[in-house]
Structure 1
Amino acid sequence: MKTTGSTDPLLGSRVHIAVKAAVAAAVAWQVGNLVPPPVGDYAYYAPLGAVLAVHPSVAASLRDSAHLFTALVMGASVGAGFHLLPVPGWAAIGLLVLVAVLLGGWDRLGDQRSWVITAALFTYILGNIDTSDFVSGLVGQVAIGAAIGFTLMLLLPPVPVRVSVKRLENVADLVADQLDALADALVTTRDDEGAPWHDLPHEVQPEALRLRESYAALDDALRGNLRAGRWRAVVAQQRRTADVIERVADLAENLTFMISEVQQSDGPWLRPGGDAARTVADTLHDLAAVVRTLARDQQVAAADAATVTRSVERVSALVAQSLDRGEEAFPGAAVVVSLRRILGALPVTEGAEPPPGIRPLSAPAWPPGRRRRSPGR
């Protein structure tokens, strides 16, 4: 089964980030060389600050620039302080690393914590001739570069909507493929009955979680973004669709594992290729088509919702008949519940009657722990 590939939530916007980082570094180098000595003697640190300040979002750029500046000041202070201690070099290095690593554990520094130890070592080793000049050059030039990088981000802020949309469509296709594969297995008869069920189930949730992270990154990209106004409604709609796809992915994965495990057990629920199996398979194919459409149209047409509803009702009737005949129908009841939960999560076009499924109590949200009420509650 195909996956969405990289775990990078904004994969695809990296080309834009790379171009901005290159421009910011070039400008920072030019500006850094215009600064008079002693700060100007360390112009090679300006491109470093510029590159580190370029991020997928304005908010992240500002946040990391502040963290970077703080970490550099802390590290440079440690390195400069150890120049004043009358201890051998090897002992000073050891103690310096100990102190810098402990200071780097401050949570407020975020991903820039490693620059505490870097700045401390640079200051102690490279700044042994004129420590004050080195510290002012390092901190000053990195600050200049970071300011240039942040300014570029502020003037040309990214809104990686297409990246998130692509991941949304990919995850929806994964879910639909899972449902189609399950349907095909139900109508296919094989000599080795256990073989298809062993290979069929695949975990979809990891990809769904990456989808959630992608939209969390997109939300972050809108903070402080001068172009955010025109995109907020679009992103909000896509976020609602992503929530539905994530829920359906969870239910579809559970449904696939459940049917596969039951079918390969000593008491399978359905006879592959039989009428009952074909009824369930048709329903799964209908659901797969709706999931693919949902990711691209952001809603389900009334006619498609009605088709899926009729399919689910046929499966429900099938299970009810088996109960009337006194047959064991626990797997069938579980399948019907899963199908109705998927049905209840589907958003239909405005004005259309919602499918008679089991509505979710709440919609998924990011970060975990924050729950949004579902529509109508």
Structure 2
Amino acid sequence: MNLEQPTRNSVQRVLSWIKAGVTGPRFMLAIKAAVAVGMAWFVAGYMPGVVDDYPYYAPLGALVSMYPTLMGSAKAGLQTLLGLLLGILLAGLIVLFAEPNLLTISAVVGVAVLFSGVRWLGHGKDYVPMAALFVLIIGGQDVESYSIGYAVQMTVGVGCGLLVNAVILPPLNFNAAILKLSRFRTMLARHLEGMADALTDEWPPEPEKWTRYNDELSTAGHDVREAVYHADESRKGNPRARLHRRNLSQDYRDLRALESVSFHVKDITDTLAGVSTGGKEPLSNELPTELLQPVSEALRGAAEMLKAWESGSELQDRWEEAQRALNALLGQVDAHRDAGAAAFSPAASVATAVRRILDTLEPCIKQDAEAT
């Protein structure tokens, strides 16, 4: 048995995971986190009074405030401090009326967990019960000093994190969003072309292949939405956004359009997969041989329309070709009405989906043409 090959494959997988995780933005975030933690630890040692006794909370504050975007860092830092102060307040109320013991500690943690469900606490929700517990257990007989030191040093750390994030400006994630949108358009076009080819070259296809199509589209759609969202977040409060302006409303428009197209492409995939597997009695479907070519050309027309939108060229020609292919399919569907629902339904479903794809693309293409 050759043990070298499995070992080599395992090493390659690990290296690919590392490469995927250690991206440019992630590497920059790691550097900023390291700088912020070091700065917080340095500053914490110079804090006056009892605060100086709890320097280890400053690096923690810096760490929890480090996010890829400036607005994300500010939001996380503020919410963490709010959760922290709320937990300290709850613990302080208990200490005013009773000594920390099994009953009071359990009660305050229970109440703190209830408060942590408040939506506006966001990232700070976990710090409500944590802070309350720390104050009662670690603070012991010196709750006041501990609470002050804990809160102030965490604030120092958050401040250091925000300062580092503001000085070493977070990147604008516009290019990632543009790239993801472009890839999504290309993927949708490729899927439509693949189905068009299958209808004329390799019909019926393998069912697993069609299932994989839909899984890939779902994953890609999720990735694109995240990329556009992160691009939007990266510009908030970022001075670089003034120098590198981008109309993200157009990206959101494209995202909505592509998500709609993806829905219809998946609908077409499911329809043709049902045909290719013969369906299930008594709802079995079939696609007459005479309709294979018209359906294929309609799908190819929609694919070419997506490719033209991506390239920004020959839009009018591709639009007219897609319309002709769709009209030809509709004509063939109308001619086969007497063939029965089993033959009529799949082709009609595909025609309807293609029509909706073109209707979705039309306003986007017109707006892009007017902008240029």
* Pairwise TM-score range, normalised by the shorter structure: 0.7 to 0.9
Which residue matches 1:78? 90
Please state if 1:123 is matched with 2:135.
yes
- Cα deviations by residue, 1:9-55 (Å, 9 ceiling, x for unpaired): xx863333222222111111111112123112211111111121122
Deviation at 1:109, TM superposition (A): 0.9
The answer on whether the counterparts of 1:312 and 1:336 sit within 8 Å (CA) in structure 2 is no
In structure 2, what residue type is equivalent to 1:96? V
1:366 alignment partner in structure 2: none
In structure 2, C-alpha distance between the alignment counterparts of 1:37 and 1:292, rounded to whole Å: 67
Letter in 2 for 1:149: G
Structure 2: gaps of 5 or more residues:
1-16, 18-22
Residues 163, 282 of structure 1: CA spacing in aligned structure 2 closer, same or farther, 3 A cutoff?
same
Verify the 8 A CA contact 2:298 2:329 in the aligned structure 1.
no
Could you say what secondary structure the match of 2:68 adopts? coil
Deviations 1:179-226 (A, max 9, x none): 133123212346xx4x62464142434542442243233223222221
How far did 1:135 drift?
1.0
Q: Which residue of 2 aligns with 1:280?
A: 295
| 2:174 is the alignment partner of 1:161 | yes
Structure 2 residue aligned with 1:174: 187
CA displacement at 1:326 relative to structure 2: 5.0
User: What's the offset of the Cα at 1:82?
Assistant: 3.4
Match of 1:333 in 2: 348
Tell me, in whole angstroms, the C-alpha distance in 2 between the residues paired with 1:142 and 1:130. Answer: 18
The structure-2 alpha-carbon separation of the partners of 1:246 and 1:305, relative to structure 1 and needing over 3 Å to count, comes to farther
Pairs within 5 Å for 1:165-204: 165-189=178-202, 193=204, 196-197=206-207, 199-201=209-211, 202-203=214-215, 204=217
Sort the Cα spacing of 1:182 and 1:188 in 2 relative to 1 into closer, same or farther, 3 A: same
The residue number in structure 2 matching 1:268 is 286
Deviation at 1:87, TM superposition (A): 5.1
1:372 corresponds to:
none
Residue by residue over 1:240-262, the C-alpha shift from the partner in whole angstroms, topping out at 9 and shown as x without a partner, is 33232222112211122123224
**SS in structure 2 of the partner of residue 35 of structure 1:** coil
Report the Cα distance in structure 2 between the residues aligned to 1:292 and 1:311, rounded to whole angstroms: 12
Aligned in 2, Cα 1:315/1:80: closer, same or farther, shift over 3 Å?
closer
2:365 alignment partner in structure 1:
348
Which residue number in structure 1 is paired with residue 70 of structure 2? 58
TM-score, scaled relative to structure 1 = 0.77
* 1:1-377 equivalence runs, <5 A: 13-86=25-98, 89-155=101-167, 156-189=169-202, 193=204, 196-197=206-207, 199-201=209-211, 202-203=214-215, 204-205=217-218, 207-263=220-276, 264-265=278-279, 266-271=284-289, 276-292=291-307, 294-295=309-310, 297=311, 300-301=312-313, 303-324=314-335, 327-328=338-339, 329-346=344-361, 347-348=364-365
Partners of 2:172 and 2:231 within 8 A in 1: yes
- The amino acid of 1:314's aligned partner reads A
Which residue type is aligned with residue 218 of structure 1?
A
TM-score (structure 2 length as normaliser): 0.78
Identity of aligned residues (%): 27
2:309 and 2:365 in contact (8 A); partners too? no
CA contact (8 A) 2:308 2:318 kept: no
More helix by share: 2
Distance 1:132 1:326 in 2: 83
> Paired residues, what number?
336
RMSD of aligned alpha carbons: 3.1
Quote the residue 2:12 is aligned against.
none
Q: Distance in 1 between matches of 2:243 and 2:309?
A: 23
Go from structure 1 to structure 2 and tell me whether the alpha carbon gap of 1:237 and 1:106 turns closer, same or farther (over 3 Å shift): closer
Contact 2:295-2:329 within 8 A present in 1 as well: no
Distance 1:333 1:123, change over 3 A: same
Distance 1:252 1:128 in 2: 63
How far is the alpha carbon of 1:169 from its aligned partner?
A: 3.2
Give the AA of the match of 1:228: A
Describe the SS at the equivalent of 2:317: helix
Cα distance in 1 between the residues matched to 2:63 and 2:253: 34
Q: Are the equivalent residues in 2 in contact too, given 1:157–1:226 (CA < 8 A)?
A: no
1:265-284 per-position Cα deviation (integer Å, ceiling 9, x unaligned): 3441243xx6x423432443
Distance 2:253 2:159 in 1: 36
Runs (5+) with no aligned partner, structure 1: 6-10, 354-374
Which residue identity lines up with residue 117 of structure 1 in the other structure? P
Change in CA separation of 1:36 and 1:87 when aligned onto 2, cut-off 3 Å: closer
**CA displacement at 1:120 relative to structure 2:** 1.0
Is the contact between residue 12 and residue 163 of structure 1 (CA under 8 Å) also seen in structure 2? no
Task: Please tell me the residue identity of whatever aligns with 2:150.
Answer: L
Matched residue type, 1:169: S
Report deviation, 1:74.
1.5
